[in-house]
Amino acid sequence: MQAMPFTDIWVYLAGTPLLGLTLTLVAYQVGYRVYERSGFRPLLNPVLLAVIVIVAVLALTGTAYRTYFDGAQFVHFLLGPAVVALAVPLAREWDSVKRLALPIAGALGAGSLTALGCAVGIAWGLGASPATLLSLAPKSVTAPIAMGIAEKIGGLPALAAVFAVTTGVTGAALGKYVLDGLRITDWRVRGFALGVAAHGIGTARAFQVNPTAGAFAGLAFGLHGALAALAFPVVYTVARRWIGG
């Protein structure tokens, strides 16, 4: 049986939802193999490498993002069940979580304010537009929540998604070096910091390193998302009235 030429395979995939799904899975597998062969170096995060591969393929083939996402949405849908599944490792650490409830609350508040204040403050100092500032504000929560918050407060959802993904990849790649530099060795603290600063991508990185770190990263990821979704619109409304009044 004669093998089908690659060009024919691409034409077939480009006309069906299989394109996005196939490209996403293959790109991540390529990224993970590189990551694995490098000895799991954080700078070679498989998500970052997969994004580079996908963008390159779409650019070289002239494939529209909408065509790609028609298939990639199947993977996107699975993010919901994956987030819910984070409750399983968290349940194993529940006794520790209850004992640390007060420090966790303080760390969540401090981390959320720091992520918001540093990003918006630096961007404002560099002369960013109001729309950019509002899109940047929720950068440290997961992309779907960031997009919803940005839309609610007058930002650009697409730009918020880019900022959120970039933040997650950067945090997952550099978090180890920052925490090592600060001489933080407690896996609970390291995981929680990654979850607050780098949401889902940071949480995935934490699970690769240590299960306790992963559980606390998942806790931070969920709490930060809930806090941001509830607080950001309220804070924005109050601030706008105060400034306007």
DSSP 4-70: PPHHHHHHHHHTSTHHHHHHHHHHHHHHHHHHHHTTS-GGG-HHHHHHHHHHHHHHHHT--HHHHHH
Residues 131 and 19 placed together within one structural domain of the fold: no
Q: Which amino acid is at 44?
A: L
Binned at pLDDT 50, 70 and 90, residue 34 comes out as very high
Residues 107-163: pLDDT tens digits?
999 998 898 888 889 999 999 998 898 899 888 888 888 888 888 888 888 888 889
Residues 55 and 113 placed together within one structural domain of the fold: no
Please give the structure tokens belonging to residue 103.
Answer: 């420090």
What average pLDDT score do residues 90-107 get? 90
Q: What pLDDT was estimated at residue 215?
A: 92
Q: What pLDDT was estimated at residue 243?
A: 60
How far is residue 118's CA from residue 112's CA, in Å, rounded to a whole number? 10
Q: What is the CA radius of gyration of the chain?
A: 20
**Domain tally, the chain:** 2
CA atoms within 13 A on the CB side of 190: 26
Q: Is there a domain that residue 136 lies in?
A: yes
Residues 165 and 233 placed together within one structural domain of the fold: yes
CA atoms within 13 A on the CB side of 178: 14
What average pLDDT score do residues 82-99 get? 84
Are 152 and 64 spatial neighbours (Cβ–Cβ below 8 Å)? no
Q: Is there a domain that residue 109 lies in?
A: yes
Residues 61 and 130 placed together within one structural domain of the fold: no
Residue 63 has pLDDT above 70, yes or no: yes
Residues 154-188: pLDDT tens digits?
888 888 888 998 899 899 889 999 999 999 999 99
Residues 111 and 226 placed together within one structural domain of the fold: yes
Q: In terms of residue numbers, what domain contains 44?
A: 6-77
Instruction: For 195-235, give the secondary structure using H, E and C.
Output: HHHHHHHHHHHHHHHCHHHHHHHHHHHHHHHHHHHHHHHHH
Residues 12 and 70 placed together within one structural domain of the fold: yes
Q: What pLDDT was estimated at residue 153?
A: 86
Out of 41, 60, 77, a domain closes at 77
Out of 56, 77, 98, a domain closes at 77
Residue 1 has pLDDT above 50, yes or no: no
What average pLDDT score do residues 13-25 get? 72
Q: Is there a domain that residue 1 lies in?
A: no
Out of 17, 45, 77, a domain closes at 77
pTM: 0.80
Residues 113 and 140 placed together within one structural domain of the fold: yes
Residues 88 and 73 placed together within one structural domain of the fold: no
